[in-house]
């Protein structure tokens, strides 16, 4: 019986069987695909989920995107003691910055300072993405 339960659990997570609660990793992967489709780019840079509190203090932020020239090299997201919805909002916010950088085509850097046009747009779009996704997947608020 135990072997059956393990097998069923694995299949349930792969196929999202009713009654099975998806892991945070499953939700993050699904959300990234959702945002990519909504804001219109093919591939996101690697996303590093971290518990490094020291980096939060250094950055004075829970997330950031690192660029290598015109391309995003990776997105860094702090996840410890955060609600899944808050982590997803941070991911969407940084993905919007990736899209903004693509649109600028090297003409200038993104202004991520508080109150800037690009920062306000990233906040607004990320909030909208989260609300749309949350309507279909309310478990993100658990």
Nearest in space to 73 (alpha carbons), one of 99, 98, 105, 36: 98
Length reported for the chain: 142
Report how far residue 122's alpha carbon sits from residue 9's, in angstroms, rounded to the nearest whole number: 37
- Asked if CATH classification 3.90.1070 holds for the domain at 23-141, the reply, yes or no, is no
Beta-carbon contacts of 4 under 8 Å, excluding residues fewer than 6 positions away, are: none
Residue 82, classed as helix, strand or coil, is: coil
Judge whether residue 20 has pLDDT over 90: no
User: pTM of this prediction?
Assistant: 0.82
pLDDT in tens, 77-136: 999 999 999 999 999 999 999 999 988 887 888 888 999 999 999 999 999 999 999 999
User: What are the structural domain ranges in the chain?
Assistant: 23-141
């Amino acid at each position: 019986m135990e072997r059956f339960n393990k097998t069923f659990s694995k299949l349930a997570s792969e196929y999202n069987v009713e009654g099975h609660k998806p892991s945070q990793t499953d939700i993050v992967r699904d959300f990234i695909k959702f945002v990519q489709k909504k804001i219109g780019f093919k591939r996101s840079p690697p996303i590093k989920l971290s518990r490094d509190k020291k980096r939060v203090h250094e950055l004075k932020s829970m997330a950031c995107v690192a660029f290598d020239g015109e391309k995003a090299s990776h997105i860094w997201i702090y996840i410890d003691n955060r609600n899944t919805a808050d982590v997803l909002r941070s991911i969407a916010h940084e993905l919007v910055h990736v899209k903004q950088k693509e649109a600028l085509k090297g003409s200038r850097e993104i202004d991520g300072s508080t109150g800037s046009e690009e920062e306000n747009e990233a906040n607004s779009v990320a909030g909208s993405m989260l609300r749309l996704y949350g309507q279909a997947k309310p478990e993100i608020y658990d």
